């Protein structure tokens, strides 16, 4: 997410993170910190080049705490004229949390519902390596955007 001042008004540009390794595998990602694919890296960098070519000059970049979103923001910023634009990360911008669905194939565990509806209950081991890698951001609850 980029904010750019144009006189007395502001422009807000929303950008989704580049293609992640789990996006192409059709896996529920949520809060799991998976990296970008080579294509995701290239497209993020190209977007930064495009934004720079059209004269986009953001004053600040907001992003989630997720690795793929922070990396996308950094790749875009590297292509801008002003490479010192501050990047502010906050967990409140994170993708939806999929709970027990995290790391599972979307074809085997389809979940179509409204945004706030709870995912289906799935039994997984307490020692599940995927579930144990999901970060907790509760310590950051006092942060403000």
The three-state DSSP-derived secondary structure of 10-24 is: EEEECCCCCCECCCC
- pLDDT of 140 > 60? The answer is no
Neighbours of 14 (CB within 10 A): 7
Tell me what the mean pLDDT of segment 38-50 comes to. 96
- pLDDT of 145 > 60? The answer is no
- What is the distance between the alpha carbons of residues 134 and 105, in angstroms, rounded to a whole number? 17
The share of the chain scoring above pLDDT 70, in percent, equals 83
pLDDT tens across 5-31, in order?
566 777 788 888 989 999 999 999 989
CATH 3.40.50.1240 corresponds to the domain 2-140: yes
Q: Out of 95, 97, 117, 144, which one is annotated catalytic?
A: 95
Q: Out of 17, 71, 117, 144, which one is annotated catalytic?
A: 17
Rounded to two decimals, what is the model's pTM? Answer: 0.81
Spatial CA neighbour of 54 closest among 85, 86, 76: 76
pLDDT tens across 75-131, in order?
999 999 999 999 999 999 998 888 888 999 999 888 777 666 666 678 888 888 888
How much is the pLDDT for 88? 94
Is 17 one of the annotated active-site residues of the chain? yes
Is 95 one of the annotated active-site residues of the chain? yes
């Amino acid at each position: 997410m980029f904010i750019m001042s144009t006189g007395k008004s502001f422009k807000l540009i929303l950008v989704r993170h580049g293609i992640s390794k789990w996006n192409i595998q059709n896996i529920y990602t949520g809060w799991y910190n998976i990296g970008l694919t080579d294509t995701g890296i290239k497209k993020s960098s190209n977007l930064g080049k495009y934004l720079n070519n059209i004269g986009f000059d953001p004053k600040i970049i907001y992003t989630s705490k997720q690795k793929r979103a922070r990396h996308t923001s950094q790749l875009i910023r590297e292509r801008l004229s002003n490479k010192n634009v501050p990047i502010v990360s906050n967990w409140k911008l994170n993708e939806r949390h999929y709970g027990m669905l995290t790391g599972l194939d979307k074809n085997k565990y389809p979940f179509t519902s409204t945004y706030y509806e709870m995912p289906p209950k799935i039994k997984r081991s307490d020692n599940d390596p995927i579930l144990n890698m999901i970060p907790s951001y509760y310590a950051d609850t006092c942060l403000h955007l």
